[in-house]
Amino acid sequence: MTNAKRTTLGGSFTFPGTGTAVNRMGYGAMQLAGPHVWGPPRDQAQAIAVLREAVAAGVNHIDTSDFYGPHVTNQIIKEALHPYRDDLVIVTKVGFRRGEDGSWIPALSDRELIEGVHDNLRNLGLDVLDVVNLRVGGVAAPEDGSIEAPLSILAELKAQGKIRELGLSNVTAAQIAEGQKIAPIVGVQNCYNLAHREDEDLIGTLAAENIAYVPFFPLGGFTPLQSSELESIATSLQATPMQVALAWLLQHSPNILLIPGTSSLVHLRENLQARDIKLSAEIVEQLDSIGAVTKSPVGATH
């Protein structure tokens, strides 16, 4: 795979205040763990193959967390890709832990955040984490409240050299503004896709500041996007509905970075092909109309 080919994954984006650039089409590793993001995968060899093919195809932005599994996903990433390519950026997150029953439990105390960072370092085999997102809020949507205490802990770990850059996940505009007073924020991960468009204004605000916006559940999460309009457009383009949904996100704003996740080589290849789909203004207008009716996502937290 030539370097020229590597730069075609939706163009590139440079995190603000850094020299770190990533291709806009990345990969989300959550689905590499077992069912319900718990335990080992059904097929470890396939999980490793997916990661290696993604990177070979030009993906240099992988999203993960040590609470996926827990520990499982990061350990698979290490087995598949360590020692890491110099241009590979691994973005992880802290702020949750897993109960023995697989439940998702907020973990925002000083001790839990520090342990979370060190768990990520150990299981990824790294001395410093590229980007750590503070994940707050509820399972499906942000919740109002100060993030000063937990973000200050991560800022301290950054000062200690354990973290290079900080981001936020599942947050409100007010929380982002509060966070920027504590430490530079290079990216925001919130739920956003064709059908869930609550962050429309926020994306534009962040774009003006050159801050990355990384939609989680870009394909609808554990309940895939369902729309007769989307199906019809995909058929007309000889593409899959999910490819069209990803292409729409890439064209929607230059600061959007995609991290679609899959444990399937076939779906990985389909997702990466979305970069080649060009949507006309008429089609974009049709797709925009899908977001007129929204509903909360369901499934595991991100």
Q: Which residues are catalytic?
A: 68
Residue 253 phi, psi (nearest 5): -160, 140
- Tell me which residue of 224, 221, 202, 223 sits closest to 211, measured CA to CA: 202
Q: How far apart are CA 81 and CA 289, in angstroms?
A: 40
Cα(148)–Cα(195) distance, rounded to whole angstroms? Answer: 31
Residue 147 CA: distances (Å) to CA of 141, 153, 178, 241, 251:
15, 10, 7, 37, 31
> Which tokens is 147 given?
């993030």
Cβ–Cβ under 8 Å, residues 134 and 94: yes
C-alpha 39/C-alpha 202 separation (Å) is 35
Q: Measured between alpha carbons, how far is 285 from 25 in angstroms, rounded to an integer?
A: 23
In whole angstroms, give the CA distance from residue 150 to residue 155.
9
CA dist 256 and 207 (Å) reads 8
Q: For the chain, where are the E strands, in sequence order? A: 12-14, 21-23, 27-28, 61-63, 89-94, 96-98, 104-106, 129-135, 163-169, 185-191, 212-216
CB-based burial, 199-221: b 16+ in 10 Å, e otherwise: beebbeebeeeebbbbbbbbbbb
